[in-house]
Amino acid sequence: MKSFKMNKTVKVVLMLNICAVVMVLFSIFNIYASYRHISNLVLQGFDPSKQIVEVINFYLTSITPYAFYGISLFTLGYIIKNFSYLFESNGIRKVDNKYLETEVLLENKYKQDEMDDEIDELLREIDI
């Protein structure tokens, strides 16, 4: 079961990375397509220096979504890959649940004993 779960995680991360690469490729293609479009407009008499805001806006609106989604998908794959080990360790804790319950009870008893000792010491100081 463990290898199946690990294999499943690897497949998910691989699919996310492939989607991220595709998005980055779309972004690169849109950079080229935007460059060609602006070049054709310049040949028709468009002056980009007078309307630089529109040129920048055109580039950003055509490129930014694909770049953002590519970066987001890659980051999500990275997070899933790194935190899958955390989920596995939680599975191990479920197996040793009885041991953990015993440990928590002993820990609570130790804390209670410490608190009792502190209270006793404070009461002794008050009496003195």
Domains of the chain by residue range = 2-94, 96-128
Residue 51 phi, psi (nearest 5): -125, 50
Distance separating alpha carbons of residues 13 and 76, to the nearest angstrom = 8
Tell me the pLDDT tens digit for each residue of 2-58: 555 557 778 888 999 999 999 999 999 999 999 999 999 899 988 888 889 988 999
97 has a pLDDT exceeding 70: no
Return the ∠ at Cα 14 (arms to 9 and 19), rounded to 5°.
130
Q: Which residues of 59-90 are buried (b: 16+ CB within 10 A; e: fewer)?
A: beebbeebbebbeebbebbeeebeebeeeeee
122 has a pLDDT exceeding 80: no
pLDDT band of residue 76 (cuts 50, 70, 90) is very high
Question: Which of 19-28, 62-71, 100-109 is predicted with the least confidence, judged by mean pLDDT?
Answer: 100-109
pLDDT at 1: 45
Q: Of all residues in the chain, what percent carry a pLDDT higher than 70?
A: 70
Who has greater pLDDT, 23 or 81?
Answer: 23
pLDDT at 21: 95
Question: What's the whole-number average pLDDT of the chain?
Answer: 79
pLDDT at 25: 95
Contact in structure between 63 and 30 (CB atoms under 8 Å): yes
